[in-house]
Chains A and B, each alone.
Chain A
Amino acid sequence: EAGVTQFPSHSVIEKGQTVTLRCDPISGHDNLYWYRRVMGKEIKFLLHFVKESKQDESGMPNNRFLAERTGGTYSTLKVQPAELEDSGVYFCASSPGLDYGYTFGSGTRLTVV
């Protein structure tokens, strides 16, 4: 079974630019999550999809972040315009349902300079 795939693995962009992160969950996993880890902090929740619907987006920092999951398959997370404080590792995870642990992707390390 293929795992959760994230692309790109690394991204370095200038402040004010736009970056789009992509996540392909495990096939059949309806639940898709985006988390972020900023240096020295805990992994923080951003957004939860159930199929193509946003179940919970309470963790999204502001309206510069936009997530989509068209067709309930892969998801994208766009940051526009990027700010310095957006730097960190963005993890995507998927799960088949409630009470299951998550399977994480390898993450995208975003550096905004």
Chain B
Amino acid sequence: QKEVEQNSGPLSVPEGAIASLNCTYSDRGSQSFFWYRQYSGKSPELIMSIYSNGDKEDGRFTAQLNKASQYVSLLIRDSQPSDSATYLCAVNIPPGNTPLVFGKGTRLSVIA
């Protein structure tokens, strides 16, 4: 069973703090990793993609990938109340052009 696991939360952080969201995946051959943000009642919105080990930064967001340990994380610096949403981890499971597998998502609440 190919799986993507996330802690469902809720994860509560104070405004201005760093929020750390984690995701593990089961297939060691996975190559593409994505983070989506989903506000309540809305569609998932792509915020980060990462393909290589290490860190990738985009504004206040940093994605971290460790293929040896099979985890990918998302850090949100200077968290704002507007960051409160569910964050979905999605992984491309090989081989080939196979559809993304999503985790259940982690609900983040940033407290003002």
Contacts and interface: CB of A to CB of B under 8 A. Distances in A.
Interface residues of B, number: 25
A102 B46 contact: yes
Contact of B44 (A45, A91, A99): A91
Contacts, number: 49
Nearest to B104: A42
B69 interface: no
A33 B102 contact: no
Mostly, the A contact residues are strand
B88 A101 contact: no
Interface of A: 31, 33, 35, 41-45, 48, 50, 55-56, 59, 91, 97-99, 101-107
**A-B pairs, 9 with minimum CB distance:** A104-B43, A101-B46, A42-B104, A43-B102, A45-B99, A98-B97, A101-B34, A106-B43, A104-B44
Interface of B: 4, 31-32, 34, 36, 42-46, 49, 51, 88, 90, 92, 96-105
